Copies of this chain bind each other. A is one copy, B any other.
Amino acid sequence: MSGAAFTVDVDLGLSRYPITIGAGLIGDADVFRALVPGVDLLVVTNTTVGPLYLEPLRAALPGRRVAECVLPDGEEHKTQATLGAVFDVLVSQRFNRDAVLLALGGGVIGDIAGFAAACYQRGIGFVQVPTTLLAQVDSSVGGKTGVNHPGGKNLIGAFHQPLAVIADTATLSTLPDRELRAGLAEVIKYGFICDPVFLEWLDENLANLLARDPAALTHAIARSCEIKAGVVAGDERERGRRAILNFGHTFGHAIEAATGFTSYLHGEAVAIGMVVAADLSHRLGLIDASGAQRVKDMLARAQLPTAAPRIGAKRTAELMAMDKKVLGGSVRLVLLEGFGKAVVSGRYDARALEATLAEHFG
């Protein structure tokens, strides 16, 4: 292994797994021997990531039977049909319950491959090998898997924890700038929801992160994983506090759905959603105007979009009502009650929400 690797442990009681973070992990046979069991492996990847990393990954898996499933790239392919294509490969390879799936790619690949592993033969093991910043700090950790439905994002899925997460920070060197910034949106989110000290560090290191300074990226990823692992460990099935991880996401999902999942990267939509949620928090009197402004400024400095598309307040409200965070008819929202402190609430002034939607979505 070239350079130091950090390990963050996710402890969910019944299941426990390591997140290993370091430069050059893909291609390191020792790492994969230690963390990936089984002989029959299926690597699920896409047409962008596969050509870059399938060969070094294969080299790290000597003595295994390694099949490949290369999917088209993009959120628009996170569908039941694509999921079916993964099942078809597993069946055609005659893979059984002891097979292990490797998700090599970003969040879309991780979600599809993880859900395929959850369902194939009622559950086989899988390992996340995230290659985007977003996947390394968010989607590969916590066991949420699934695909989209034409009626909404992630409506079909399962909770299925990986056996391990292997995050190779060297893959970020090939990541387009726009995707790096989209990943930073989730990193900054962790600061907003529960870590003022991390927020200060981010404030000082934003330029280094945008310049892809390896040490800064490694720290940001490890701290993000620690925060997420801690929140998930307390509430794996999102019955309560885990929902704070959805800060900005209810508005963000509505933006993604209204624009067909193609105009905005997930992190970009979440960035806008966080600006909207901060504004609502201010309108509800939870934070002052300067707090909401700091949220917006920090995201703008990370070169993320902060202005919502004019998709209409009514349409936005409808899409939010379809979101999974609705319980018994009222939309639960994640709000800020401080700069570095989020709360989940289903009780708030509906007029403040209406005014916020009108202001941002038109």
Contact = CB atoms under 8 A, between A and B. Distances in A.
A155 B98 contact: no
Contacts of A158: 118-119, 122-123, 158
Contacts of A237: 123
A296 interface: no
Interface in A137-170: 144, 146, 149-152, 154-159
A122 B146 contact: yes
A155 B121 contact: yes
A92 interface: yes
A302 to B, nearest CB: 30
Contacts of A157: 119, 121-122
A170 to B, nearest CB: 32
A321 interface: yes
A144 B122 contact: yes
A347 interface: no
Nearest to A121: B324
A45 B120 CA distance: 25
A324 B154 CA distance: 28
Nearest to A116: B156
A324 B88 CA distance: 15
A92 B151 contact: yes
A322 interface: yes
A147 to B, nearest CB: 9
A91 B152 contact: yes
B98 A149 contact: no
Tell me the number of copies of this protein.
Answer: 2
Contact of A87 (B119, B156, B322): B156
User: What does DSSP make chain A's interface, helix, strand, loop or mixed?
Assistant: mixed
A301 interface: no
Given A80-B84, A151-B91, A324 B119 contact: no
A262 interface: no
Contacts of A120: 155-156
A211 interface: no
A327 B38 CA distance: 11
Nearest to A324: B121
A97 interface: yes
Given A97-B327, A122-B159, A158-B158, 5 more contacts: A80-B87, A96-B328, A98-B328, A119-B157, A123-B159
28 contacts: A39-B328, A80-B80, A80-B87, A87-B149, A88-B149, A91-B151, A91-B152, A91-B155, A94-B321, A94-B322, A96-B326, A97-B324, A98-B327, A98-B328, A119-B156, A119-B157, A119-B158, A120-B156, A121-B155, A121-B157, A122-B144, A122-B146, A122-B157, A122-B159, A122-B324, A123-B159, A123-B237, A158-B158
